[in-house]
Amino acid sequence: MIRFDHVAKRYGSQDALQNLNFELASGDFAFLTGHSGAGKSTLLKLVMMIERPTRGQVFVQNQNLNRLGNRHIPLIRRQVGVVFQNHQLLFDRSVFENVALPLYIAGMRGREVGRRVRASLDKVGLLAKEKSSPMTLSGGEQQRVGIARAVVNKPPVLLADEPTGNLDPELSAEIMNLFFEFNQVGVTVLIATHDISLIRTMSMRVLGLADGQLVYDGLLEDAPRSK
Ligand code: ADP
Ligand code: ADP
């Protein structure tokens, strides 16, 4: 789960988030929308402990992140899988090695690594590509490698920052379906996107940010169509 309790974040004199309150229960799925600069990335960074709140408290899996020191960051990172728009794949490593990276960082070695990496690649339909370089893959395939890497240690929470930003509508729908599948097995999913046309096709909870404030929390089909 993820809970924000009166959270504010300032960068210098810039308010990035103000008095943010919401909760995603375990197994929930939501989109995070808002204009560029609305605070989406900042919100995700607070969940990942890349940034700390200026005020208020952030809870992840019932842990108050304010109470955790920097040495606990790896613990949180193992519970929060992250998918980025530009994949952040290592092009000089194979698909297998890219997906294995979080396991190596967590100290896992040996046969268990191969087992987990292949289970993860299988879920995104890329088992046949484990030896390939990510460079030889299409944009959609690269994004699926990014997703396999994000879920390889089975995090209970999955975040994505504009995961379909570079993809056409058909591939975007495929990627979204993967997130639904992980959600179906109990993973809490939060996806930041400004692709309103995509999320209009899905009747899912939407958290709307504007100028650092939560201005909408509900199903998009109920939301005003303008703007
Ligand atoms: P979004 O992801 O919705 O585009 P961000 O969270 O990146 O929004 O940014 C929210 C606000 O915080 C913006 O005004 C942005 O310029 C500002 N901001 C983000 N990161 C920093 C930073 N490291 N230093 C200063 N200002 C920042
Ligand atoms: P194993 O039990 O051998 O590790 P899998 O790795 O295939 O088998 O995962 C077992 C189950 O856990 C699958 O149904 C899978 O979908 C589910 N699961 C739960 N959480 C996650 C997650 N964060 N990422 C991937 N799979 C998950």
Ligand nearest to C-alpha 80: 2
Of 11, 45, 50, which is best to mutate to test ligand 1, by the most ligand atoms within 8 angstroms of its C-beta?
Answer: 11
Nearest to 18 by CA among 36, 4, 33: 4
Record the pTM: 0.88
Give 44 Cα–ligand 1 centroid separation in angstroms: 11
- For residues 173 and 103, give the distance between their C-alpha atoms in angstroms, rounded to a whole number: 28
Residue 30 three-state SS: strand
Q: What is the pLDDT along the chain (227 residues), one digit of tens a residue?
A: 999 999 999 999 999 999 999 999 999 999 999 999 999 999 999 999 999 999 999 999 999 999 999 999 999 999 999 998 877 899 999 999 999 999 999 899 999 999 999 999 999 999 999 999 999 999 999 999 999 999 999 999 999 999 998 788 889 999 999 999 999 999 999 999 988 888 887 889 999 999 999 999 998 765 555 44
Q: Mutation test of ligand 2: which of 182, 184, 190 has the most ligand atoms closer than 8 Å to its C-beta?
A: 182
Nearest alpha-carbon partner for 83 in 187, 208, 206: 187
CA distance 217 to 183: 19
The residue contributing the CA closest to ligand 1 atom 16 is 37
Pocket residues: Cβ below 6 A from ligand 2: 119, 151, 154-155, 182, 185-187
Quick one: which atom of ligand 1 is closest to the CA of 51?
23
What is the full DSSP assignment across 126-148? -GGGTTS-GGGS-HHHHHHHHHH
Report the residue among 42, 52, 54 best suited for mutation to probe ligand 1: largest number of ligand atoms under 8 A from its CB.
42
Torsion of CA 92, 95, 101, 103, to 10 degrees: -160
Element spanning 84, H or E: strand 80-84
Which alpha helices (H) appear in the chain, and where do they start and end?
40-48, 73-79, 95-105, 111-123, 139-151, 169-184, 196-200
Using CB atoms within 10 Å of the CB of residue 191, give its burial: 0 to 12 exposed, 13 to 18 middle, 19+ buried.
buried
ipTM over 0.85: no
Q: What are phi and psi of 145, to 5 degrees?
A: -65, -40
CA distance 200 to 221: 7
Expressed in angstroms and rounded, the spacing between residue 197 Cα and the centre of ligand 2 is 31
